[in-house]
Amino acid sequence: MSPLPYPIQAPPERGHGRIAIRSVRRRDAAVLRRLLTENRSWLQPWEATFPGGGGAAPGSQPLGPVIRAMHRQRKAGTGVTFVMLYDGQAVGQLSVSDISAGALRSASIGYWVSQHVAGQGVTPTAVALAIDYAFTELRLHRIEVCIRPENAASLRVAHKLGLRYEGLRERYIHIDGKWCDHESFAVTAEEVPRGMLERLGAPSS
Ligand SMILES: CC(C)(COP(=O)(O)OP(=O)(O)OC[C@H]1O[C@@H](n2cnc3c(N)ncnc32)[C@H](O)[C@@H]1OP(=O)(O)O)[C@@H](O)C(=O)NCCC(=O)NCCS
Protein backbone atom coordinates (compact mmCIF):
# COMPACT_ATOMS: atom_id res chain seq x y z
CA MET A 1 0.00 0.00 0.00
CA SER A 2 1.39 3.42 -0.93
CA PRO A 3 0.00 6.69 0.50
CA LEU A 4 -0.84 9.71 -1.59
CA PRO A 5 2.47 11.34 -2.54
CA TYR A 6 1.52 14.64 -0.90
CA PRO A 7 -0.03 15.81 2.41
CA ILE A 8 -3.83 16.02 2.43
CA GLN A 9 -5.03 19.52 3.30
CA ALA A 10 -7.65 19.70 6.07
CA PRO A 11 -10.91 19.53 4.11
CA PRO A 12 -13.39 22.38 4.66
CA GLU A 13 -16.87 21.59 5.93
CA ARG A 14 -19.23 19.95 3.42
CA GLY A 15 -22.89 19.64 4.20
CA HIS A 16 -26.39 18.88 3.09
CA GLY A 17 -29.43 20.07 5.01
CA ARG A 18 -28.93 19.50 8.73
CA ILE A 19 -25.98 17.13 8.22
CA ALA A 20 -22.32 18.02 7.60
CA ILE A 21 -18.80 16.64 7.89
CA ARG A 22 -15.62 18.53 8.65
CA SER A 23 -12.03 17.64 9.44
CA VAL A 24 -11.47 16.66 13.08
CA ARG A 25 -9.81 19.38 15.20
CA ARG A 26 -7.83 19.26 18.43
CA ARG A 27 -10.58 21.11 20.21
CA ASP A 28 -13.01 18.26 19.36
CA ALA A 29 -11.20 16.06 21.88
CA ALA A 30 -13.50 16.81 24.82
CA VAL A 31 -16.81 16.46 22.97
CA LEU A 32 -15.71 13.29 21.18
CA ARG A 33 -14.53 11.75 24.43
CA ARG A 34 -17.86 12.61 26.07
CA LEU A 35 -19.78 11.03 23.18
CA LEU A 36 -17.60 7.91 23.27
CA THR A 37 -18.05 7.56 27.03
CA GLU A 38 -21.82 8.09 26.91
CA ASN A 39 -22.12 5.61 24.03
CA ARG A 40 -19.70 2.94 25.31
CA SER A 41 -22.18 0.07 25.36
CA TRP A 42 -23.64 1.22 22.00
CA LEU A 43 -20.23 1.24 20.31
CA GLN A 44 -18.33 -1.57 22.05
CA PRO A 45 -19.76 -4.48 19.96
CA TRP A 46 -18.48 -2.82 16.76
CA GLU A 47 -15.19 -1.40 18.06
CA ALA A 48 -11.90 -2.47 16.46
CA THR A 49 -9.52 -4.03 18.99
CA PHE A 50 -5.91 -5.21 19.04
CA PRO A 51 -5.24 -8.95 18.85
CA GLY A 52 -3.48 -9.94 22.07
CA GLY A 53 -4.99 -7.07 24.04
CA GLY A 54 -3.89 -3.50 24.58
CA GLY A 55 -7.07 -1.85 23.28
CA ALA A 56 -9.10 0.63 25.32
CA ALA A 57 -12.84 0.92 25.96
CA PRO A 58 -14.45 3.81 24.01
CA GLY A 59 -13.89 7.10 25.85
CA SER A 60 -11.53 5.64 28.46
CA GLN A 61 -8.48 7.57 27.24
CA PRO A 62 -7.78 11.25 26.44
CA LEU A 63 -8.32 11.93 22.74
CA GLY A 64 -5.66 14.63 22.26
CA PRO A 65 -2.96 12.11 21.25
CA VAL A 66 -5.47 10.23 19.07
CA ILE A 67 -6.40 13.40 17.17
CA ARG A 68 -2.71 14.29 16.76
CA ALA A 69 -2.19 10.82 15.22
CA MET A 70 -5.13 11.48 12.86
CA HIS A 71 -3.46 14.73 11.75
CA ARG A 72 -0.21 12.84 11.14
CA GLN A 73 -2.11 10.33 8.97
CA ARG A 74 -3.60 13.17 6.94
CA LYS A 75 -0.21 14.82 6.44
CA ALA A 76 1.27 11.44 5.47
CA GLY A 77 -1.47 10.98 2.84
CA THR A 78 -2.90 7.82 4.40
CA GLY A 79 -6.24 8.97 5.82
CA VAL A 80 -8.65 11.75 6.76
CA THR A 81 -10.87 11.76 9.85
CA PHE A 82 -14.09 13.76 9.93
CA VAL A 83 -16.49 14.79 12.66
CA MET A 84 -20.14 14.28 11.70
CA LEU A 85 -22.34 17.26 12.54
CA TYR A 86 -26.10 17.41 13.03
CA ASP A 87 -27.49 20.94 13.30
CA GLY A 88 -23.88 22.07 13.81
CA GLN A 89 -23.27 19.76 16.79
CA ALA A 90 -20.68 16.97 16.74
CA VAL A 91 -22.57 13.66 16.84
CA GLY A 92 -20.08 11.11 15.51
CA GLN A 93 -16.96 10.33 13.57
CA LEU A 94 -16.18 9.14 10.06
CA SER A 95 -12.80 8.03 8.79
CA VAL A 96 -11.44 7.65 5.29
CA SER A 97 -8.53 5.35 6.01
CA ASP A 98 -6.04 2.94 4.44
CA ILE A 99 -5.68 5.24 1.45
CA SER A 100 -3.75 3.49 -1.25
CA ALA A 101 -2.46 5.54 -4.17
CA GLY A 102 -0.50 4.08 -7.08
CA ALA A 103 -2.58 1.85 -9.33
CA LEU A 104 -5.33 1.32 -6.70
CA ARG A 105 -6.41 4.79 -5.57
CA SER A 106 -8.74 3.26 -3.00
CA ALA A 107 -9.68 3.73 0.65
CA SER A 108 -11.95 2.35 3.37
CA ILE A 109 -14.65 4.23 5.25
CA GLY A 110 -15.66 3.59 8.86
CA TYR A 111 -18.17 5.45 11.05
CA TRP A 112 -20.16 5.74 14.25
CA VAL A 113 -22.84 8.11 15.53
CA SER A 114 -24.14 8.79 19.01
CA GLN A 115 -27.23 6.76 19.83
CA HIS A 116 -29.22 9.96 20.48
CA VAL A 117 -29.24 10.76 16.73
CA ALA A 118 -29.49 7.17 15.43
CA GLY A 119 -32.10 6.55 12.77
CA GLN A 120 -32.17 10.11 11.42
CA GLY A 121 -30.12 9.44 8.32
CA VAL A 122 -27.00 11.20 9.56
CA THR A 123 -24.59 8.45 8.52
CA PRO A 124 -25.83 7.78 4.96
CA THR A 125 -25.62 11.49 4.12
CA ALA A 126 -22.24 11.87 5.86
CA VAL A 127 -20.82 8.86 3.98
CA ALA A 128 -22.15 10.23 0.69
CA LEU A 129 -20.46 13.57 1.42
CA ALA A 130 -17.20 11.78 2.28
CA ILE A 131 -17.28 9.61 -0.85
CA ASP A 132 -17.90 12.66 -3.04
CA TYR A 133 -14.95 14.38 -1.32
CA ALA A 134 -12.74 11.31 -1.84
CA PHE A 135 -13.60 10.99 -5.54
CA THR A 136 -13.44 14.69 -6.41
CA GLU A 137 -10.78 16.15 -4.08
CA LEU A 138 -8.50 13.16 -3.42
CA ARG A 139 -9.12 11.71 -6.89
CA LEU A 140 -9.62 8.24 -5.43
CA HIS A 141 -11.25 5.60 -7.62
CA ARG A 142 -12.75 3.09 -5.17
CA ILE A 143 -14.19 3.24 -1.65
CA GLU A 144 -15.05 0.21 0.43
CA VAL A 145 -17.06 -0.30 3.58
CA CYS A 146 -16.79 -3.56 5.56
CA ILE A 147 -19.61 -4.47 7.94
CA ARG A 148 -20.20 -7.34 10.34
CA PRO A 149 -23.16 -9.49 9.18
CA GLU A 150 -24.74 -8.93 12.63
CA ASN A 151 -24.73 -5.13 12.24
CA ALA A 152 -28.20 -4.62 10.79
CA ALA A 153 -28.11 -0.82 11.18
CA SER A 154 -24.82 -0.47 9.29
CA LEU A 155 -25.99 -2.89 6.58
CA ARG A 156 -28.96 -0.54 6.12
CA VAL A 157 -26.52 2.33 5.56
CA ALA A 158 -24.76 0.37 2.78
CA HIS A 159 -28.12 -0.53 1.28
CA LYS A 160 -29.38 3.09 1.31
CA LEU A 161 -26.20 4.22 -0.42
CA GLY A 162 -26.56 1.50 -3.04
CA LEU A 163 -23.06 0.19 -2.38
CA ARG A 164 -22.19 -2.87 -4.45
CA TYR A 165 -21.88 -6.11 -2.46
CA GLU A 166 -18.50 -7.77 -3.05
CA GLY A 167 -18.58 -10.76 -0.72
CA LEU A 168 -17.82 -12.13 2.72
CA ARG A 169 -14.36 -11.67 4.22
CA GLU A 170 -13.95 -14.38 6.83
CA ARG A 171 -12.33 -13.44 10.17
CA TYR A 172 -11.33 -10.15 8.56
CA ILE A 173 -11.11 -7.57 11.37
CA HIS A 174 -10.48 -7.92 15.12
CA ILE A 175 -13.61 -6.46 16.71
CA ASP A 176 -14.56 -6.39 20.38
CA GLY A 177 -11.89 -8.98 21.21
CA LYS A 178 -12.29 -11.52 18.40
CA TRP A 179 -11.72 -12.01 14.68
CA CYS A 180 -15.01 -11.24 12.93
CA ASP A 181 -16.38 -11.95 9.47
CA HIS A 182 -17.27 -8.85 7.44
CA GLU A 183 -19.48 -8.24 4.42
CA SER A 184 -17.58 -6.10 1.93
CA PHE A 185 -19.28 -3.33 -0.07
CA ALA A 186 -17.69 -0.95 -2.56
CA VAL A 187 -18.30 1.80 -5.07
CA THR A 188 -16.07 3.06 -7.86
CA ALA A 189 -16.17 6.56 -9.29
CA GLU A 190 -17.67 5.37 -12.60
CA GLU A 191 -20.73 4.06 -10.77
CA VAL A 192 -21.67 7.52 -9.49
CA PRO A 193 -20.93 10.01 -12.29
CA ARG A 194 -23.16 12.64 -10.62
CA GLY A 195 -21.96 11.80 -7.10
CA MET A 196 -23.16 9.76 -4.13
CA LEU A 197 -25.24 12.55 -2.60
CA GLU A 198 -27.32 12.78 -5.75
CA ARG A 199 -27.67 9.01 -5.93
CA LEU A 200 -28.78 8.94 -2.28
CA GLY A 201 -31.40 11.55 -3.06
CA ALA A 202 -30.63 13.02 0.34
CA PRO A 203 -33.49 15.08 1.79
CA SER A 204 -32.53 18.73 2.30
CA SER A 205 -34.08 18.97 5.78
C1 LIG B 1 -24.48 1.98 12.01
C2 LIG B 1 -24.77 3.45 12.35
C3 LIG B 1 -23.51 4.25 12.07
C4 LIG B 1 -25.94 3.94 11.50
O5 LIG B 1 -26.03 5.34 11.62
P6 LIG B 1 -27.44 6.15 11.48
O7 LIG B 1 -27.02 7.57 11.33
O8 LIG B 1 -28.33 5.82 12.58
O9 LIG B 1 -28.02 5.58 10.11
P10 LIG B 1 -29.56 5.60 9.63
O11 LIG B 1 -30.26 6.77 10.19
O12 LIG B 1 -29.54 5.40 8.17
O13 LIG B 1 -30.21 4.30 10.31
C14 LIG B 1 -29.77 3.01 9.90
C15 LIG B 1 -30.64 1.94 10.57
O16 LIG B 1 -30.47 1.99 11.99
C17 LIG B 1 -31.67 1.45 12.60
N18 LIG B 1 -32.21 2.41 13.55
C19 LIG B 1 -33.13 3.38 13.38
N20 LIG B 1 -33.35 4.05 14.52
C21 LIG B 1 -32.54 3.51 15.43
C22 LIG B 1 -32.33 3.76 16.81
N23 LIG B 1 -32.97 4.75 17.46
N24 LIG B 1 -31.42 3.00 17.47
C25 LIG B 1 -30.76 2.04 16.82
N26 LIG B 1 -30.91 1.74 15.52
C27 LIG B 1 -31.81 2.46 14.84
C28 LIG B 1 -32.66 1.19 11.49
O29 LIG B 1 -32.53 -0.18 11.11
C30 LIG B 1 -32.13 2.10 10.39
O31 LIG B 1 -32.53 1.66 9.11
P32 LIG B 1 -33.92 2.24 8.51
O33 LIG B 1 -33.74 3.73 8.35
O34 LIG B 1 -34.07 1.52 7.23
O35 LIG B 1 -35.00 1.93 9.50
C36 LIG B 1 -25.15 3.60 13.85
O37 LIG B 1 -26.17 2.68 14.15
C38 LIG B 1 -23.96 3.36 14.80
O39 LIG B 1 -23.16 4.25 15.02
N40 LIG B 1 -23.86 2.15 15.35
C41 LIG B 1 -22.79 1.82 16.27
C42 LIG B 1 -21.40 1.83 15.62
C43 LIG B 1 -21.37 1.05 14.34
O44 LIG B 1 -22.06 0.06 14.16
N45 LIG B 1 -20.54 1.52 13.39
C46 LIG B 1 -20.43 0.90 12.07
C47 LIG B 1 -19.49 -0.23 12.06
S48 LIG B 1 -19.42 -0.96 10.43
Model pLDDT, residue 53:
81
Establish if 69 belongs to a structural domain: yes
Q: What separation in Å is there between the alpha carbon of 121 and the centre of ligand 1?
A: 8
Domain count along the chain: 1
Our mutation pick for probing the ligand 1 site, out of 154, 160, 180, counting the most ligand atoms within 8 A of Cβ, is 154
Model pLDDT, residue 55:
74
Query: What are the pLDDT digits (tens) for 123-171?
Result: 999 999 999 999 999 999 999 999 999 999 999 999 999 999 999 999 9
Establish if 187 belongs to a structural domain: yes
Model pLDDT, residue 205:
46
Our mutation pick for probing the ligand 1 site, out of 123, 125, 155, counting the most ligand atoms within 8 A of Cβ, is 123
Q: What separation in Å is there between the alpha carbon of 102 and the centre of ligand 1?
A: 34
What 3-state DSSP class applies to 170?
Answer: strand
Model pLDDT, residue 58:
92
Ligand 1 atom 37, closest CA: 153
**Neighbouring residues of 45: CB distance < 8 A, sequence distance ≥ 6:** 150, 175, 176
Ligand 1 atom 17, closest CA: 153
**CA 136 to CA 156: how far, in whole Å?**
25
Establish if 7 belongs to a structural domain: no
CA geometry: angle at 111 spanning 76 and 78, to 5°? 10
Model pLDDT, residue 203:
56
Residue-number span of the structural domain to which 112 is assigned? 14-200
| Cβ–Cβ under 8 Å, residues 136 and 172 | no
Establish if 111 belongs to a structural domain: yes
Domain containing residue 192: CATH number: 3.40.630.30
- What lines the ligand 1 site, CB under 6 Å? 42-43, 46, 111-113, 118-124, 147, 151-154, 156-157, 160
Model pLDDT, residue 155:
98
Establish if 5 belongs to a structural domain: no
Establish if 167 belongs to a structural domain: yes
Establish if 3 belongs to a structural domain: no
Ligand 1 atom 3, closest CA: 112
Tell me whether residue 94 is exposed, middle or buried, using C-beta atoms within 10 angstroms of its C-beta: 0 to 12, 13 to 18, 19 or more: buried
Give every residue of the chain whose pLDDT is below 70, as ranges.
202-205
Q: What separation in Å is there between the alpha carbon of 101 and the centre of ligand 1?
A: 31
Establish if 141 belongs to a structural domain: yes
Ligand 1 atom 28, closest CA: 153
Q: What separation in Å is there between the alpha carbon of 18 and the centre of ligand 1?
A: 17
Q: What separation in Å is there between the alpha carbon of 156 and the centre of ligand 1?
A: 7
